[in-house]
A and B are shown apart, each in its own frame.
Chain A
Amino acid sequence: MSKRKGKDAHMPVGECITQLQKVLRERFCCQKLPEQPEAVEAQQKHLLELLKRTAVHGESNSVLIVGPRGAGKTMLLKCVLRDLLEEKEVQKNLLQVHLNGLLQTDDRIALKEITRQLNLENVVGDKVFGSFAENLAFLLEALKKGDRSSSRPVLFVLDEFDLFAHHKNQTLLYNLFDVSQSAQAPIAVVGVTCRLDVLELLEKRVKSRFSHRQIHLLSSLTLPQYVERVQTQLSLPGDFPDEKFAEDWNASVKTLCEDKSVEEVFQRHFNSSKDYRSMHMLLLLCLSRVSVSKPTIKPADVLEASRICFTDAKANMLHGLSILELCLIIAMKHLNDVYEGEPFNLQMVHNEFKKFLHRKTSSMYNFEQPVIMKAFEHLQQLELIRPVDGSSAKVQREYQLMRLMLDHSQIMEALQKYPQCPTDVKQWAMSAFG
């Protein structure tokens, strides 16, 4: 392939791969906005119309965008904003305030952030002055003074809206919704959240001032649509510098998606979740295996990526335990079976382990109590076992009650995969009554 010399449009393969990685990584990692969001035309139109009414006509509005994680809420909002700002008038007129529930953890911080983002007078340099009450009064004053015809509309975007509902007295939400209800400066409040019960979190007075307009992003994707989406996500855009390479790549993606084994993988992923994020993760894992020496994605890559996505983390951790620790886990499993999930302590586990050793003639695992205690504590550090009550200071370590955080099948599966597991340990694990 590298031998091919042709027209000027052709780049060397290495260069092409670099470009390919760049384009696709932007798509998968930093969630670059698509030209046109898929399958949300109605919601997009609705939201655009709503925001336009605020931006152009000075109407106050409030709306909530609700959907599970990775359903494309932020993408929808950003696309709508991008479309909105294309209009000259709006661009000149609209003020934006972006808040995030993760960052603005209380109303004071949120208020400072609002004042800063609106460039109000009490901001000097980057610092905001005044107490919370002063700030709030100042801000409300500024908003009240305005009216529908003369003042510029403000758009408030509240990301992680449900976290704002946990603020004290919900002062910020109350004031924002109150302004949007009364004839003051025109504002639009857009909340983005993943909680479906978000309205139940609001106080009655706050709830009554909210317009109860909700945009739900619940995907009704079918498997063929899912596969199609994967294909579009992987395809190169038309403006890729090397057209020939882009064509080849898109063709190879198409054949990949038609492959039987790959389809099975997609089916499994589709069954576990339909959101963009997990799909992007899978595709990035596939993409990372593309290099100059291997310029296409093979079905084997998809299988491997899917294996990484679906691997059981606890089984992985069990694989790395020492044989002594594994024996302790088997003893715990037996205790769980016999006493039906009652908590246990180190003494009981040791006793169970000793019973196993007694039946054997050779005593290769005859460890002293402190060595066993060390192994037991290691298991606790890995959080494979957990103390029943948190307060551990008053009880001796060997008598502290614990629970096993693994289930039967995980232990048995780990035992099958364990490298050079002694047969008698295996048999011990199999036997129903230890």
Chain B
Amino acid sequence: MTSATMTALLQHSGYEEEKLQRVAEKLPCREVQAGMLLSLMGQPHQHSYPSIFIYGHRASGKSHVMQVLLKELQLPHATVSCVECVSVALLFEQVLLSFFGCDAASLLPRSPSLSDFVRIYRQQCSLSPAKETRYIVMEKAELLRDTDANLLPALLRLQELVEDNVTVILLSEIVWDKFRPNTGCFEPLLLHFPDYSKGELHQILSQDKHPSYSAEFYSSYINILLGVFYSVCRDLRELRHLAALNFSKFCEPLAEGKVKETDTHKLWRNIEPHLKKAMQTVYLREVSSLQWEQMQQMEEKETGTVRGLSAHTHVELPYYSKFLLIAAYLASYNPARTDKRFFLKHHGKIRKTNFLKKNEKTSNHLLGPKPFPLDRLLAIFYSVVDSRVAPTASIFSQISSLVTLQLLTQVSHDDQLDAPKYKCAVSMDFICAISRTVNFDIVKYLYDFL
């Protein structure tokens, strides 16, 4: 897009041409939205709509567009992140501070109510009336729903309450329908920021090219990156992070002199498995970015040798704890009626057809673990452990320490001493690894896998 068309979209009589030009340069692929916002905001001294609600996916430029517009055009504004405002007092303070200076903010009492805020705002506003529209930008506005029930409706009609030319802009990932209070409120103007298309992502990502390589080279790299990740992730920030992390690997064959810049196919062959690996590791934060960079340095070793976060979950447990956990897993995932068949030595004849009558709609490994009583756990435990174990205090304390380790969860209330119920909270992989260490074939005992 040429700069001429960019400014054409971003034309507004209330602002200087030069400033608008600068705004347009900073907002690639968002000119339409910025232009629309500007035209809704109107000229600085005109009134603006009391509240605007902007929604769109993560990293679709909501905050960025607002910040660039307000900063470059030098409009009076307060930006508040609702994550930071754990109490409303912080929110009020920040708004007053950015509009009227710290004297006004210090007027707030210790635990201010909305009434105090509006009173002080009105008072200050009569001292210094607005020449231009004031903007309050609330980021992550979905958190406003969890605060005081009056806050959101009051913010939406703040213009009316304080009788000042003020506009509240709410930014969120969640649609407005989920915000509306019971008795209704002043409806804000809804504005959607659409997601970036693949082409737009490509255009934006290609902007931060490496100075020592050509633009086409970087662009082809982005192309390959998008080819791998686009079906999973459209988050611009995530993609940009991945692009920065893996670029050095992409350039490696070039530095070694094996290929030329134009030899796209060979470069692709080199990088593609690497990126696929990145999806399973660094994209999931299994390994940190730092570890990933270190892994790229030591190229002779295979990249998989560095163990990810999930690999560290294999904890060392005492011998009986392992069996207790195995017994808990079996109790959670097997129906109780099959226990006789699995764990009794002389269980008599059970007809196979009768036994394998799987009338449940799905297996237990789909539905999740079922709760079981302590007696059943101990019965299975004695059956799977070969040696004789006395039911000492240490066995019972091991059960409760498994609960503290969050490998088991107690289902019934804590105060129940007799017949407590538990659930097993470990995954299949985990329990298989545990049973391998004690030479126990768990799959043979699982009803779902018969």
- CB of B57 within 8 A of CB of A105, answer no
Residue B154 interfacial (CB < 8 Å): yes
Give Cα distance in the complex from A26 to B165, angstroms.
10
- CB of B368 within 8 A of CB of A399, answer yes
Take A30-B159, A351-B366, A383-B174 as given contacts and tell me if A109 and B113 are in contact as well, using a CB distance cutoff of 8 Å: yes
Give Cα distance in the complex from A38 to B60, angstroms.
43
| B361-378 interface bits toward A, Cβ cutoff 8 Å, 1 = contact, 0 = none | 110011111000000000
Band of interface residues on A: 35 or more
Give Cα distance in the complex from A126 to B60, angstroms.
45
What is the count of residue pairs linking A and B with beta-carbon distances less than 8 angstroms? 174
Take A30-B47, A322-B231 as given contacts and tell me if A277 and B187 are in contact as well, using a CB distance cutoff of 8 Å: yes
Question: Within 8 Å CB of A242, what residues of B?
Answer: none
- CB of B174 within 8 A of CB of A113, answer no
Take A105-B114, A323-B231, A371-B283 as given contacts and tell me if A25 and B366 are in contact as well, using a CB distance cutoff of 8 Å: no
Take A29-B49, A30-B165, A278-B187 as given contacts and tell me if A365 and B284 are in contact as well, using a CB distance cutoff of 8 Å: no
- CB of B366 within 8 A of CB of A347, answer yes
Tell me the smallest distance from the CB of B235 to a CB of chain A, in Å. 9
Question: Within 8 Å CB of A22, what residues of B?
Answer: 46-47
Contact check: which of A194, A278, A288 meets B183 at CB < 8 Å? A194
Residue B13 interfacial (CB < 8 Å): yes
Give Cα distance in the complex from A321 to B195, angstroms.
8
- CB of B56 within 8 A of CB of A21, answer no
Q: Number of contacting residues on B, CB 8 A?
A: 75
Tell me the smallest distance from the CB of B412 to a CB of chain A, in Å. 12
Residue A81 interfacial (CB < 8 Å): no
Contact check: which of B113, B159, B175, B190 meets A105 at CB < 8 Å? B113
- When C-beta atoms are compared, the residue in chain B nearest to A25 turns out to be B47
- When C-beta atoms are compared, the residue in chain A nearest to B45 turns out to be A22
Give Cα distance in the complex from A26 to B194, angstroms.
30
Question: Within 8 Å CB of B411, what residues of A?
Answer: 394
Residue B337 interfacial (CB < 8 Å): no
- CB of A382 within 8 A of CB of B232, answer no
Question: Within 8 Å CB of B161, what residues of A?
Answer: 100, 102-103
Tell me the smallest distance from the CB of A281 to a CB of chain B, in Å. 6
Q: Which of A379-434 contact B (CB under 8 A)?
A: 381-383, 394-396, 398-399, 419-420
Dominant secondary structure of chain B at its interface with chain A: loop
Tell me the smallest distance from the CB of A419 to a CB of chain B, in Å. 7
Take A25-B42, A102-B150, A105-B150 as given contacts and tell me if A375 and B48 are in contact as well, using a CB distance cutoff of 8 Å: no
- CB of B42 within 8 A of CB of A21, answer yes
Q: Which of A107-127 contact B (CB under 8 A)?
A: 109, 113, 116, 126
Tell me the smallest distance from the CB of B302 to a CB of chain A, in Å. 18
- CB of A367 within 8 A of CB of B232, answer yes
Contact check: which of A21, A285, A289, A394 meets B409 at CB < 8 Å? A394
Report which B residues bind A (CB closer than 8 A). 11-14, 36, 39-40, 42-43, 46-50, 55-57, 60, 113-115, 118-119, 123, 148, 150, 153-154, 157, 159-161, 165, 173-178, 183-187, 189-192, 194-195, 197-198, 230-234, 279-280, 283-284, 286, 310, 361-362, 365-369, 409, 411, 423, 425, 427
Q: List 23 A-B contacts (CB under 8 A).
A: A14-B13, A21-B43, A25-B42, A29-B50, A30-B50, A109-B113, A109-B115, A113-B119, A116-B119, A126-B123, A195-B183, A284-B189, A288-B39, A291-B12, A291-B39, A313-B177, A319-B194, A322-B231, A347-B366, A347-B367, A382-B174, A394-B411, A394-B423
Given contacts A102-B157, A103-B118, A396-B427, 4 further A-B contacts (CB under 8 A): A30-B47, A103-B115, A322-B230, A394-B423
Report which A residues bind B (CB closer than 8 A). 14, 17-18, 21-22, 25-26, 28-31, 69, 74, 100, 102-105, 109, 113, 116, 126, 162-163, 194-195, 277-278, 281, 284-285, 288-289, 291-293, 308-309, 311, 313-314, 316-317, 319-324, 339, 345, 347-348, 351, 364-365, 367-368, 370-371, 374-375, 381-383, 394-396, 398-399, 419-420
